[in-house]
Amino acid sequence: MPKLAVLDIGTNSIHMVLAEVHPDYSYKILDRFKDMTRLGDGVFTSRRLSDQAMMRGLEVIRNLVTLARNKGYERIEGVATSAVREARNGGEFLDHVAQQTGLTVRVITGAEEARLIFLGVQNSVALPDLPTLVIDIGGGSVEVIVGNRETVFHARSLKLGAIRLKDLYLTKTPPSKAMLHELEEAVTSQLKSALGPYKTKRVEQVIATSGMAANLAEVIHLQRTGRPLPQLNLAKISGKEIAAVEKRLADATLKTRLAIQGLDPKRVDTLLPASTVLRILLGLLHKDELTICDKAIREGIIYDFVQRHHEGIQAERDIPDVRKRNILFLARRCHVSETHALHVAGLALRLFDQTKPLHGFGQREREWLEFAAILHDIGYLINSRQHHKHAYYLIKNSDLSGFTADEIDLVANIARYHRRAVPHRKHDEFIALPEGTQRIVKVLSALLRIADGLDRSQFSVVQSVDVKLGKTVIMALQVSGDAELEIWAARGRSDLFENVFKRPVQFMVTSQEDEAT
């Protein structure tokens, strides 16, 4: 039976679950691990992960990955959320993770985070036909999703995570009335906007996930009964109880807070803003009760994995162009992310078209660039380490009907140089190419390197790019969310472009919208 480890690198905590997928596509979680690392402490004011936080995070991730592999878990799905997504040095942190563990971690968008959270809830709670609102309070973001047992109607990722709110508004304990007022206004404004058409329509129930909501429920149950909460999943707490705990926390010193029964000491500074978010949400929805669900993003990732493999390979579309059809067939046989591959190809072609005055190439070279972009990640089929070199090997040794041997050689070289080392005279495969072909490889690889960097998270955050040619080449990015990771990656891969065209590259963001689905 397939074994899957899920590593969730959150702003507040790092979790890992070890699961076993059964032949009927159900699964069983065999073990869970958690460390409240506080990776995102300070990141929302400084926009950087601190050295101390990165060291803590790397140690925890290293230990968890080693543990999973020692237990026979070769397939590890690693995801990172808002702290890494928004930090200017988030890419550097993930590079360290890859170097020290060999694990490639996906940075997921807020919209994807919301989808996965709802998928976990949807498969764990008997949802009604009428809309249910699910809220997940993390350290950096809050996901608000409205859906039913069949589908998601509305999802938003908000910058209202408990660590973020603590850093921005609650700078001393106990906080002043002015701080609490500013917090209230910020939370109310974002929630009103997020609820959109659902703030006046009927929501059957409100479900909260995450450790913040769970710890709040534990505190409330102890106050209510004097006994520990016997079962977290489906526990119910009222809006009045949440407001009472919120006021108690707001009036208390750190020492007094730590004396509250059931309060997790590691949440002593974050449970207050989390309570504020939940209390305001219930008020806006005119609801009196909240239900707790102990399933969320990690379970959603498992269900997503199961669904993707259960569906198998979808029926191939009728693609008239035999060359492109065979390129796509090869990409699918190697299990590449087709969404990422096609998006990178689109960005690369846009760069090609807008830099034509610099390179002077035509339709034939444009096709080669598109094909190399679609295939650039097929080396992951062999190993994530040096996958660019594995991509070269797979393309060279694949039966690509419709291509000459020289074309296959050229496409393989372009894909090989989409990352790491640039073409060099010490590389035998490159130096064996005719001189004119070498220039083609250099130019097209330079464009592909930047295009791939612009989709570093593989969630199409950079939707388009407009190039302005001059002594400095300006690349204006149209984005749909936080693009710091993409800009960092593209900047690091601009070396070949700058060398080939003898002019520097500068990236700038021209538009940014709230993440939503």
> Domain spans of the chain?
3-108+301-311, 125-294, 322-511
| CATH number of this structure's domain 125-294 | 3.30.420.150
Give percent above pLDDT 90 in the chain: 84
- Taking residue 185's Cβ as centre, other Cβ atoms within 10 Å add up to 11
**What's the pLDDT at 313?**
27
**What's the pLDDT at 22?**
74
Domain 322-511: which topology? Hypothetical protein af1432 (1.10.3210)
CB 169 within 8 A of CB 273: yes
Among candidate residues 289, 118, 120, the one with its CA nearest the CA of residue 205: 289
What is the average pLDDT across 315-324? Answer: 59
328 or 468, which is more confident: 468
Split at pLDDT 50, 70, 90, the class of 199 is: low
- 3-state secondary structure (DSSP) of residue 3: strand
Domain 3-108+301-311: which topology? Nucleotidyltransferase; domain 5 (3.30.420)
Split at pLDDT 50, 70, 90, the class of 516 is: very low
Matching CATH topology for 3-108+301-311 and 125-294? yes
Weakest mean pLDDT among 218-232, 240-254, 301-315, 502-516: 301-315
Is residue 63 scored above 80 in pLDDT? yes
pLDDT digits (tens, 9 = 90+) for 161-196: 999 999 999 999 999 999 999 999 999 999 999 998
- Taking residue 447's Cβ as centre, other Cβ atoms within 10 Å add up to 26
C-alpha 488/C-alpha 92 separation (Å) is 9
Length of the chain, please?
A: 517
Secondary structure (DSSP) of 12-76: S-EEEEEEEE-TTS-EEEEEEEEE---TTTTHHHHSS--HHHHHHHHHHHHHHHHHHHHTT---E
**What's the pLDDT at 24?**
66
**What's the pLDDT at 309?**
61
Among candidate residues 446, 429, 424, 458, the one with its CA nearest the CA of residue 365: 446
Is residue 2 scored above 80 in pLDDT? no
Weakest mean pLDDT among 27-41, 304-318, 407-421: 304-318
H or E segment to which residue 217 belongs? helix 210-225
Q: Across the chain, what does the average pLDDT equal? A: 92
Phi/psi region, residue 489 (left: phi>0; alpha: psi -120 to 50; beta: rest), is alpha
Show the DSSP H helices in 135-176 as ranges: 162-169
Secondary structure (DSSP) of 228-290: --S--TT-EEEHHHHHHHHHHHHH--HHHHHTSTT--GGGTTTHHHHHHHHHHHHHHHT--EE
- Cα–Cα distance list, 433 to 332, 360, 397, 405, 425 (Å): 28, 20, 17, 12, 11
Please tell me whether the overall predicted TM-score, pTM, comes out greater than 0.85 for this model: no
